[in-house]
């Protein structure tokens, strides 16, 4: 939202901090969490336009997936064996860190399930590629299992798929509850110096006497360092992101509860579409933005008839156990797709006082906690892997 002169002149309340983090999603809170672990005396403001989790982090499907947004063979083709192993390992570490620091002891409350996930092929061409990916993954000691049409019917209740593979180590969660748990852990730290400013939209950032000045309608918050954890919204705040981070919409629908029938969550159609049954019985299905790529961009989080209809048709065609179930929720959210599909972490090449963590390209639940940790490495001059470093986009 733009801010008028009349509204802006209200922001005279001055606050001084060591670091301002903009964005109350997984990226912002993960960064806050790891900064607190690094140095709990740091005075940090976390500034969120709405409430914590109102962005993509509270609207996603809750897959904690290892790897990347494409089949593993393509990751190897693009990055080579060595870097592909690093990228995969990064997301495995993300899950292990989440389990150890946030989820442990609250698995049931967070609806956390460590049951793996499937990638399903509806054509022989994709199954051939998945088979190639699976063989390659085995050569990297990644835990993977190949399944056929009958397995898919029996174990997932799904029809119309010729085969697939199971990533044994993936997990699922209620992403909003996990984010709120992260906030609780931060606030319960015995030396907490992190202050949350919800319902504070940042309108602009200026430089004054070596400090950054972050303007909201209610406050001006000054700090030597600012972190953008603003996902697909980043180009609205800083032109640097205009050709690097692209706002992209994702849509979901959810059915009423049905008796449990799925062994684990599933991707289909080259990881573009996905469905999972919650431990409480509801079935969630999302994807299909490929049908209207030109429409599924920008900042509106409305649902559209075309995509929602495609989701319903998929459900009727492929998932018999939920055919009679009524639909209870439809929603969408805005993601930040990066120019090369990998996240971007570190100081902006244009300004060493501005940092960024984001560009998760539909994959932030599987990446953001470790990305926040990596950002703290960058801030404390420890090395950051080249494939994820913001420096690569200079
Ligand atoms: C429908 C859908 C399904 C998805 N499914 C999955 C999945 O199953 N697994 C997975 O790994 N990933 C999934 N994702 C992607 C995942 O949700 C994101 O990658 C992740 O949540 C990004 O976290 P973030 O903190 O960078 O962004 P966000 O959660 O969007 O947080 C950014 C925050 O910045 C705030 N903000 C923006 N501008 C300003 C401003 N000017 N002032 C103050 N605050 C501002 C926003 O309000 C927002 O809360 C999905 C996304 C969507 C939309």
Cα separation, 342 vs 352, whole angstroms: 21
Spatial distance between the Cα atoms of 280 and 327, rounded to a whole number of angstroms = 15
Q: Is 30:181 a contact under the CB 8 Å cutoff? A: no
Q: Which residue minimizes the CA distance to atom 1 of ligand 1?
A: 250
How far, in Å, CA of 106 to CA of 50, rounded? 26
- Give the integer Cα–Cα distance in Å for 387 and 394: 13
Choose the residue to mutate in 30, 268, 362 for probing ligand 1, maximizing ligand atoms within 8 Å of C-beta: 362
Atom of ligand 1 nearest to the CA of 200: 43
Distance from the CA of 125 to the center of ligand 1, in angstroms? 33
- Cβ < 6 A, ligand 1 pocket: 22-28, 47-50, 54-57, 59-63, 65, 201-202, 229-231, 233, 237, 250, 252, 286, 333, 335, 358, 360, 362-366, 368
Residue with tokens 């299909």: 288
**Distance from residue 87's CA to the centre of ligand 1 (Å):** 21
Q: Is the dihedral of CA 266, 268, 271, 277 positive or negative?
A: negative
Strand partners, 146: 165
Round to whole Å and give the CA distance between 118 and 318: 15
The candidate with the shortest Cα–Cα distance to 260, out of 144, 342, 155, is 155
Radius of gyration of the CA atoms of the chain, in A: 21
Quick check: helix, strand or coil at residue 228?
A: strand
Cβ partners under 8 Å of residue 331, min gap 6: 59, 251, 252, 301, 303
Sign of CA dihedral 135, 139, 140, 142: positive
Q: What is the mean pLDDT of residues 375-385?
A: 97
Rounded Cα–Cα distance for residues 32 and 21 (Å): 8
pLDDT more than 70, % of the chain:
98
Say what the pLDDT of residue 116 is.
Answer: 96
Sign of the four-CA dihedral 2, 5, 6, 9 = positive
Residue pLDDT, tens place only, 135-181: 999 999 999 999 999 999 999 999 999 999 999 999 999 999 999 99
Distance 320 CA to ligand 1 centre (A): 31
Specify the 3-state DSSP secondary structure of 266.
Answer: strand
Of all protein residues, the one whose alpha carbon is nearest to atom 19 of ligand 1 is 364
The pLDDT of residue 270: 86
Domains in the chain, CATH or no CATH each: 15-114+170-244+339-394 (3.50.50.60), 115-169+246-337 (3.30.9.10)
Mean local confidence (pLDDT), 208-216: 94
Dihedral class, residue 155 (left if φ above 0, else alpha if ψ from -120 to 50, else beta): alpha
- State the closest ligand 1 atom to the C-alpha of 360, by its place in the atom list counted from 1: 19
Q: Are 386 and 369 in contact (CB under 8 A)?
A: no
Q: For residue 92, what are its two tokens?
A: 């495995």
Q: What is the pLDDT of residues 303-313, one digit of tens each?
A: 999 999 999 99
pLDDT at residue 10 in the model:
58
How far apart, in whole angstroms, are the C-alpha atoms of residue 107 and residue 112?
5
Best residue among 8, 20, 23 to mutate for probing ligand 1's pocket (most ligand atoms within 8 Å of CB) is: 23
Query: Residues 167, 144: contact at Cβ < 8 Å?
Result: yes
Dihedral-angle region of residue 208 (phi above 0 means left; psi in -120 to 50 means alpha; beta otherwise)? beta
Q: Which of 198, 218, 230 to mutate to test the pocket of ligand 1 (most atoms within 8 A of CB)?
A: 230
Structure tokens at 385: 């892997």
The confidence band for 4, taking pLDDT boundaries of 50, 70 and 90, is confident
pLDDT at 70: 82
pLDDT on residue 11:
61
Residue-wise pLDDT tens digits, 272-305? 899 999 999 999 999 999 888 888 898 998 999 9
Report the alpha-carbon distance of residue 319 to residue 283 in Å, rounded: 10
What distance in Å separates the CA atoms of residue 99 and residue 102, rounded to the nearest whole number? Answer: 6
Atom of ligand 1 nearest to the CA of 365: 11
What pLDDT, in 10s, does the model give residues 226-275?
999 999 999 999 999 999 999 999 999 999 999 999 999 999 998 889 99
Mean pLDDT score of the chain, rounded to an integer? 95
The CA 25 to ligand 1 mean position distance, Å, reads: 6
Dump pLDDT digits (tens) for 24-40.
Answer: 999 999 999 999 999 99
**CA-to-CA distance for 115 and 64, rounded, in angstroms?**
11
Q: CB under 8 Å to 5, separation ≥6 — which residues?
A: none
Q: What is the pLDDT of residues 79-130, one digit of tens each?
A: 999 999 999 999 999 999 999 999 999 999 999 999 999 999 999 999 999 9
Nearest to 51 by CA among 196, 229, 170, 204: 196
Tell the residue nearest (CA) to atom 15 of ligand 1: 362
Q: Please classify residue 132 by burial: count the beta carbons closer than 10 Å to its beta carbon, then call 0-12 exposed, 13-18 middle and 19+ buried.
A: middle
Tell me the average pLDDT across 70-75: 90
Q: Give mean pLDDT, residues 357-380.
A: 97
CB atoms within 10 A of CB 312: 15
Query: In the predicted model, is pLDDT for residue 9 greater than 70?
Result: no
Selected residue with higher pLDDT from 195 and 9: 195
């Amino acid at each position: 939202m733009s801010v008028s002169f009349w509204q802006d002149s209200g922001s005279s309340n001055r606050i001084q901090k060591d670091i301002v983090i903009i964005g109350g999603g997984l990226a912002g809170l993960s960064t806050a969490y790891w900064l607190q672990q690094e140095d709990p005396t740091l005075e940090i403001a976390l500034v969120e336009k709405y409430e914590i989790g109102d962005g993509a982090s509270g609207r996603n499907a809750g897959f904690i997936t290892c790897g990347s947004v494409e089949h593993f063979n393509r990751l190897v083709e693009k990055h080579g064996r060595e870097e592909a192993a690093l990228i995969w390992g990064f997301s495995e570490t993300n899950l292990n860190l989440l389990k150890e620091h946030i989820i442990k002891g609250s698995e049931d409350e967070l609806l956390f399930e460590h049951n793996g996930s499937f990638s399903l092929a509806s054509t022989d061409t994709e199954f051939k590629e998945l088979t190639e990916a699976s063989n390659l993954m085995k050569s990297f000691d990644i835990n993977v299992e190949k399944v056929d049409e009958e397995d898919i019917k029996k174990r997932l209740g799904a029809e119309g798929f010729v085969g697939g593979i199971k990533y044994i180590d993936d997990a699922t969660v209620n992403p909003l509850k996990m984010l709120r748990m992260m906030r609780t852990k931060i606030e319960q730290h015995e030396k907490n110096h992190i202050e949350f400013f919800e319902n504070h939209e940042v309108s602009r950032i200026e430089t004054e006497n070596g400090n950054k000045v972050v303007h909201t309608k209610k406050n001006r918050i000054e700090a030597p360092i600012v972190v953008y954890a603003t996902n697909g919204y980043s180009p609205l705040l800083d032109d640097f992101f205009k050709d690097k981070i692209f706002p992209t919409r994702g849509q979901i629908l959810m059915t009423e509860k049905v008796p449990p029938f799925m062994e684990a969550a599933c991707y289909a159609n080259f990881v573009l579409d996905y469905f999972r049954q919650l431990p409480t019985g509801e079935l969630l299905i999302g994807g299909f933005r490929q049908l209207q790529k030109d429409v599924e961009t920008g900042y509106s989080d409305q649902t559209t008839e075309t995509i929602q209809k495609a989701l319903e048709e998929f459900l009727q065609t492929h998932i018999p156990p939920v055919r009679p179930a009524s639909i209870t929720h439809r929603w969408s959210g805005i993601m930040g797709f990066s120019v090369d599909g990998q996240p971007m972490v570190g100081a902006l090449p244009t300004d060493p006082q501005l940092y960024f963590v984001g560009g998760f390209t539909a994959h932030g639940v599987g990446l953001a906690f470790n990305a926040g940790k990596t950002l703290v490495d960058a801030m404390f001059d420890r090395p950051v892997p080249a494939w994820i470093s913001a420096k690569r986009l200079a």
